[in-house]
Amino acid sequence: MNLADLNKVALAMVTPGKGILAADESSGTIKKRFDAIKVESTEENRRDYREMLFRSTEAMSKYVSGVILYDETIWQNAKDGTPLVKLIEQAGAIPGIKVDEGTQALPQCPGELVTVGLDKLAERLKKYYERGARFAKWRAVIDIGSGIPTMTAISVNAHALARYAALCQAAQIVPIVEPEVLMDGDHDIDRCYDVTQRVLNKTFQELRVQRVELEGMVLKPNMAISGKKCPKQASVDEVAEKTVRLLKACVPAAVPGIAFLSGGQSDEEATAHLNAMNRSGGLPWRLTFSYGRALQAAPQKAWSGKAENVAAGQRAFTHRARMNALASKGEWETGLEKKVA
Ligand code: 5MM
């Protein structure tokens, strides 16, 4: 492993003014997104949609540091035969790959999941590296509910995240470590804070045990935020203040950067929260975005599967990418939302 090179890639992924496009929806998830815009989820439509995003020259070259791809996408070519990976590289962004293979029910822990995909991961990483991937992603899913999460679910998921991260670094690939605490329930922000704190502490404990080099990774956490069904929704300032406090308590300064997931927040909320955190200043790591839904909901709607809407889809994507890029520097304000280029 060459740690200096891993660190260089990790720092590039969190370049101030840029962030990561999470375009790694598995087949089931992209089908759900396409269903919402009444587009059939065929291989060709998935390719056309993602090609539209990767050919958004302004967004990709100015505001996007890297793209997380799904296995199908990393092997696909654009309509003219150019590998999609090349489009990303030509724009100056870094190709990345989701390497987990989804979740399975966790025995003895009703309602809880463990992320799988470690078998043969070393061989898969080699192939992804040859294809151009310089970082990877693995997502653990932790749900909050009555009696959950158990320490069992937190432990096994943290262990798998660290196993994955160590294998990535051995393959000269920067691991994005994503322990996601879902915001689906009716819990309040303080319960989210407590659970996320336990999850992050266990994750970093496992990373240390398995000798993962913190300088060569990026953390992708949820924010400390109220559950979607909680009657009392925390304000932007409270989310920003509690998320920063939580991260300072759990994330070593050796980690080069933190790139948040959006987790079901609205586009503007995800931007406003990131902006407020970066405005607070004095942070030991760079804070940026690695959004899926909060970057793609608008372009998906604008595109709606029609070739004549490609330019509109690209405009919508560029706008969201620009808003979040500004937020990564604490320079966003709500008035900018109306000025779509
Ligand atoms: C893009 O969605 C990703 C893939 O999820 P599935 O494997 O379930 O299809 C997801 O891991 C994503 O990268 C992160 O959760 C961030 O996306 P959001 O939409 O939460 O910002």
As given in the structure block, the two tokens for residue 75 are 């092997």
Alpha-carbon distance of 119 to 138, in angstroms, equals: 14
- The CATH architecture one would assign to domain 3-338 is Alpha-Beta Barrel (3.20)
Asked if the model's pLDDT at residue 286 lies above 60, the reply is yes
Q: State the chain's mean pLDDT as an integer.
A: 98
Asked if the model's pLDDT at residue 341 lies above 60, the reply is no
90 within 8 A of 56, measured Cβ to Cβ: no
Residues 6 or more apart from 211 whose CB is under 8 A from it?
166
R_g of the chain, CA atoms, integer Å? 19
Q: Model confidence over 79-103: pLDDT tens digits?
A: 999 999 999 999 999 999 999 999 9
Q: What is the mean pLDDT of residues 247-274?
A: 98
Residues 6 or more apart from 236 whose CB is under 8 A from it?
269, 272, 273, 276
148, burial (CB in 10 Å: exposed 0-12, middle 13-18, buried 19+):
middle
To the query of whether residue 220 is one of the catalytic residues in this protein, the response is yes
Asked if the model's pLDDT at residue 340 lies above 60, the reply is no
Would you place residue 185 in the very low, low, confident or very high pLDDT band (cuts 50, 70, 90)? very high
Asked if the model's pLDDT at residue 20 lies above 90, the reply is yes
Pocket residues: Cβ below 6 A from ligand 1: 22, 24-26, 29, 68, 139, 180, 261-263, 291-294
Q: Whose CA is nearest to atom 4 of ligand 1?
A: 25
- Phi, psi at 152, each rounded to 5°: -60, -50
The one catalytic residue among 25, 178, 180, 206: 178
As given in the structure block, the two tokens for residue 276 are 């407020």
Q: How many CA atoms lie within 13 A of 15 on its CB side?
A: 16
To the query of whether residue 178 is one of the catalytic residues in this protein, the response is yes
Between the alpha carbon of residue 116 and those of residues 183, 189, 201, 289, 307, the distances in Å are: 22, 29, 21, 25, 37
Q: What is the mean pLDDT of residues 30-36?
A: 98
Helix, strand, coil share of the chain (percent; to 5): 50, 15, 35
Asked if the model's pLDDT at residue 303 lies above 90, the reply is yes
Give the nearest ligand 1 atom to 30 CA.
9
Alpha-carbon distance of 336 to 215, in angstroms, equals: 35
Q: Model confidence over 187-211: pLDDT tens digits?
A: 999 999 999 999 999 999 999 999 9
Residue 196 Cα, ligand 1 centroid: separation in angstroms?
Answer: 18
Give the nearest ligand 1 atom to 28 CA.
9
Q: Whose CA is nearest to atom 18 of ligand 1?
A: 292
Residue 235 Cα, ligand 1 centroid: separation in angstroms?
Answer: 24
pLDDT of residue 76: 98
Asked if the model's pLDDT at residue 125 lies above 70, the reply is yes
Q: What pTM does this model have?
A: 0.98
pLDDT of residue 34: 98
Scanning the chain, the segments in alpha helix (DSSP H) are: 3-13, 27-36, 43-54, 57-58, 71-74, 84-90, 121-131, 151-170, 189-209, 236-250, 267-280, 293-303, 310-327
Q: Whose CA is nearest to atom 16 of ligand 1?
A: 261
Q: Ligand 1 pocket: which of 139, 180, 267, 289 to mutate (most atoms <8 Å of CB)?
A: 139
103 within 8 A of 92, measured Cβ to Cβ: no
Residue 63: closest CA among 271, 310, 317: 317
pLDDT of residue 321: 98
Residues in the chain: 341
Between the alpha carbon of residue 189 and those of residues 39, 50, 88, 236, 244, the distances in Å are: 36, 34, 37, 12, 13
pLDDT of residue 339: 60
**Residue 22: helix, strand or coil by DSSP?**
strand
pLDDT of residue 338: 82
DSSP for residue 221? P
Asked if the model's pLDDT at residue 57 lies above 60, the reply is yes
61 within 8 A of 317, measured Cβ to Cβ: no
Residue 25 Cα, ligand 1 centroid: separation in angstroms?
Answer: 6
Would you place residue 60 in the very low, low, confident or very high pLDDT band (cuts 50, 70, 90)? very high
Asked if the model's pLDDT at residue 107 lies above 90, the reply is yes
Q: Ligand 1 pocket: which of 68, 116, 261, 291 to mutate (most atoms <8 Å of CB)?
A: 261
Residue 2 Cα, ligand 1 centroid: separation in angstroms?
Answer: 29
